[in-house]
């Protein structure tokens, strides 16, 4: 592994592929934090096992596991392998410490180089806001993951530290356009000394982008300061899905309308007007109940849940794998909303299998399927 500090990715003709481009693997982190997944992790593990299985059918799963839980994780993966029909890409378990399981935000962002190879980017991670509004008090193990992972995998990595960024705050169309939200990237807990223009230049330099699109907002009450991956995503160059509601009393209504107005008034890096598709949020808000609250065990300095707190539920927080989409399903009184989201993506992505994953237990951790996955693009 080479740590690259003397040149920028754009100078090496690197660019960030779209998530729907072909993957070599998906990286995930085994969930153990009681403040996210509860003292009883069985619900979260059941949902994650379903995700592991679908990934392992189509591309390699790289699972980071701390030593204390390696045996437990190995047994779960072995049970999944027993259900699969050979040949399949399978899983690779890597011993690595972490503070939580949000692979999207703490793992490297990967770019493809001019010769078709893949390189990583190490951003600084500060738990979504550091001393200003970070969600836990200690994040050193998470921040160390990109360098350690690339070393273990023999992947060259660009060091963007001290620039603070999370993978969930950026989407790429693979053709030079990056999608972000102002609410997140301009928040005081990330890069407060930098102007919007300076942040944009940094993104262009590291992601090989020509244009950055700045949505005003993300999803209401999203504790990441409104990551873009919960509100909007590229389904193809020039096409975007946007989280939506027709309920004027919902706080999300005005936020999504502002995003829609912005997106319909801009062009992408290729000069194309964007085609915006509405992907409705769950009809019934998903809130923390008494049983949910009783299951958490929070560490000192960790952001805590409150009874009745509305969670940032969105179907846009889906994840592309080779040949398929893993789509959150929330169940209960949102069964019809779940079905509508499946049908919407079937229509928009007819060449992919749409696989619903029971995801309420993931949402209780604070994010969803896209937040716990990070693609490792295939080399060309």
349 is catalytic: no
**CA dihedral defined by 129, 134, 136, 142, rounded to 10 degrees?**
-10
DSSP assignments along 189-253, one per residue: TT-TTS-HHHHHHHHHHHHT-SEEEEES--STT-TTT--GGGTEEEEETTEEEEEE---TTSHHH
Partners of 329 in beta bridges: 358
295-299 contact pairs (CB < 8 A, 24+): 295/38, 295/39, 295/40, 296/34, 296/35, 296/38, 296/39, 297/34, 297/35, 297/38, 297/39, 298/34, 298/35, 299/34, 299/35, 299/136, 299/137
Torsion of CA 150, 370, 326, 28, to 10 degrees: 30
Q: Which two tokens stand for residue 138?
A: 């200690």
3-state SS class at 258:
helix
Q: Show the CA angle centred on residue 373, arms to residues 255 and 260, nearest 5°.
A: 20
Cα 282 to the center of its chain, rounded Å: 19
Tokens of 109: 């962002």
Q: Are the C-beta atoms of residues 351 and 320 closer than 8 Å to each other?
A: no
Catalytic residues: 371
């Amino acid at each position: 592994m080479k740590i690259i500090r003397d040149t920028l990715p754009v100078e090496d003709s690197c660019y960030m592929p779209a998530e729907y481009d072909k993957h070599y693997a998906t990286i995930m982190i085994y969930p153990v934090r009681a403040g996210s997944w509860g003292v009883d992790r069985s619900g979260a593990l059941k949902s994650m096992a379903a995700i592991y299985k679908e990934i392992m059918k189509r591309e390699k799963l790289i699972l980071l596991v701390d030593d204390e839980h390696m045996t437990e994780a190995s047994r779960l993966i072995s049970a999944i392998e027993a259900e699969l029909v050979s040949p399949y890409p399978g899983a690779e378990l890597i011993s690595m410490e972490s503070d939580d399981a949000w692979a999207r935000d703490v793992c490297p962002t990967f770019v493809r180089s001019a010769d078709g190879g893949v390189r990583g980017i190490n951003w600084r991670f500060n738990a979504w806001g550091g001393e200003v509004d970070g969600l836990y008090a200690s994040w050193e193990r998470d921040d160390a993951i990109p360098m350690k992972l690339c070393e273990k995998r023999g992947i060259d990595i660009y060091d963007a530290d001290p620039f603070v960024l999370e993978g969930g705050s950026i989407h790429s169309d693979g053709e030079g356009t990056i999608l972000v939200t102002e609410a997140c990237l301009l928040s005081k807990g990330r890069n407060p000394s930098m102007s919007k223009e300076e942040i944009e230049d940094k993104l262009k330099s590291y992601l090989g982008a020509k244009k950055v699109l700045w949505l005003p907002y993300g999803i209401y009450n999203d504790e990441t300061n409104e990551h873009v991956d919960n509100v909007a995503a590229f389904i193809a160059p020039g096409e975007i899905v946007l989280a939506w509601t027709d309920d004027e009393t919902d706080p999300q209504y005005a936020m999504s309308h502002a995003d829609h107005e912005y997106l319909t008034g801009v062009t992408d890096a290729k000069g194309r007007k964007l085609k915006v598709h509405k992907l409705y949020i769950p009809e019934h808000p998903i809130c923390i109940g008494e049983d949910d609250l009783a299951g958490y065990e929070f560490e000192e300095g960790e952001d805590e849940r409150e009874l009745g707190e509305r969670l940032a539920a969105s179907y846009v927080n889906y994840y592309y794998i080779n040949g398929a989409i893993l789509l959150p399903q929330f169940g209960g009184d949102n069964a019809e909303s779940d079905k509508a989201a499946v049908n919407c993506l079937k229509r928009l992505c007819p060449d992919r299998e749409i696989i619903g994953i029971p995801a309420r237990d993931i949402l209780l951790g604070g994010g969803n399927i896209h937040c716990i996955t990070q693609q490792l693009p295939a080399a060309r």
